[in-house]
Amino acid sequence: MNIKNIVAASAATLMLTAGFALADEHANYPEKRVEVLIPFNPGGGVDATGRLMAAEFEKILGQDFIVNNVSGAGGTIGATQLAQSDADGYTIGVLPIGTATTQPHRKELPYNGESWEEVCLMVKSPLAVLVNPEGKYQTIEDLISAAGSGGVLSAGPPKGSVPHMAQAALGQAFNVEFTFVPFEGGAGASKAVLGKEVDFTVEPFGSGKKLGLTPLLILAPERVTDLPDVRSIKEVNNSDLDLGIWFGLFAPKGTPDEIVGKLADACATAVRSEEFASGIANVGWNINFLGQGDFQEFFAKQYATNGELLRSLGLAK
């Protein structure tokens, strides 16, 4: 063997040894307690999901997972803290669609779509077009036809919210426009539909069902189990629109693959537990699990789509 081959073989051996050493470095993760950052106050859907997940992770990974609520500015204060944390697996966080995929398009923030290692999607409730059960529009075809002539009123949380963007996306999909009436939150918009002040709203289908609203369309490629008779937008006009309220687990960019993989495996186990399933059902959300690779792809598409929607509405920075 000549000197060049000896040098090359030695370099390859060193690289292989270093690779094994790096893998061994994370073999016992987690070796201390892990902080689960929730960018909202206790009591909401993101908080409930994070606490249920943390309880399961403690059983699966044998270490303490401590929830830390850091609220403010639509979740961006907590998300910023998460993005700027050490990428060592000991600070992870649960982020919702708005904080993760819309806020960075609306204002300058220290994080964006490239700031994360996406671990898993745990919860996703598709959005539905909801009307008064005694209103004048009882099919999506009737609603869209009327919107073509103008004058159809939609309601939702303030401009730039996910339900507001969903109504804009609905109009774009059918090439019509709605007159949007903003309310402080989804509950106010739903009450306006019930009071026949406006024609429809877009909210998670479970929320509308509890209030007695009638769902006309699911804004996702497939129907949902709880509403088997309500068509998806894919069925009605072949749209690939996929809009819902979702919560996912993220780690700071640069977190080692071995750690992200362990967390993703724990996610897959956690969402199958009876405790997690019943807890999520109790707070009115729906488990919709995506593993690491699928969630990375889903997140990238959601980030790009929501940016395009915000720009079309003149609401992007």
Question: 164 lies in a domain?
Answer: yes
Using the structure block, give the residue that is written with the tokens 């969903």.
166
112: CB partners within 8 A, 6+ apart: 104
* pLDDT recorded at residue 17: 47
The per-residue pLDDT for range 266-283, each reduced to its tens digit, is: 999 999 999 999 999 988
Q: Give pLDDT, residue 14.
A: 45
Same domain, 104 and 65: yes
Q: Which of 190, 204, 206, 203 is nearest to 135 (CA)?
A: 190
Looking at residue 306, its amino acid is N
Do residues 138 and 63 share a domain? no
Indicate if 262 and 230 belong to the same structural domain: no
Q: How far apart are CA 108 and CA 274, in angstroms?
A: 41
Residue 229 lies in a domain: yes
Instruction: Please give the tally of structural domains in the chain.
Output: 2
At 17, which amino acid appears? T
For residues 78-101, one letter each, b for 16 or more C-beta atoms within 10 angstroms of the residue's C-beta and e for the rest, the string is bbbbbbebebbbbbbbbbbbbbbb
pTM over 0.85: yes
- Residues 6+ positions from 196 with CB-CB distance below 8 Å: 132, 135
Q: How far apart are CA 259 and CA 262, in angstroms?
A: 5
pLDDT score for 72: 94
> Residue 259 sits in which domain range?
33-124+245-312
At 6 the pLDDT is 44
**95 and 151 in a common domain:** no
Q: What is the pLDDT of residue 219?
A: 95
The answer to whether residues 214 and 139 belong to one domain is: yes
Together in a domain, 249 and 119: yes
The Cβ-side half-sphere exposure at 116, using a 13 Å CA radius, reads: 29
Condensed to tens digits (0 to 9), the pLDDT of residues 293-311 reads: 999 999 999 999 999 999 9
CB–CB of 188/152 below 8 Å? no
Give the pLDDT confidence score for residue 2 in this predicted structure. 52
pLDDT at 207: 74
- The helix/strand/coil state of 208 is helix
Q: d(Cα 237, Cα 241) in Å, to the nearest integer?
A: 10
Considering the domain architecture, whether residues 161 and 61 belong to the same structural domain is answered as no
Question: First-to-last CA distance in the chain?
Answer: 61
Count CB atoms within 10 A of the CB of residue 172. Answer: 15
pLDDT tens column, 70-109: 999 999 999 999 999 999 999 999 999 999 999 999 999 9
Q: Which amino acid is at 138?
A: Q
Are 134 and 228 within one domain?
yes
Q: 192: domain CATH number? A: 3.40.190.10
Q: Which of 213, 237, 261 is the last residue of a domain?
A: 237
d(CA 35, CA 3): 51
Same domain for 151 and 110: no
Per the DSSP assignment, residues forming a β-bridge with 182 are: 156
Contact 252, 161 (CB under 8 A): no
Residues of the chain whose pLDDT is less than 50?
1, 4-22
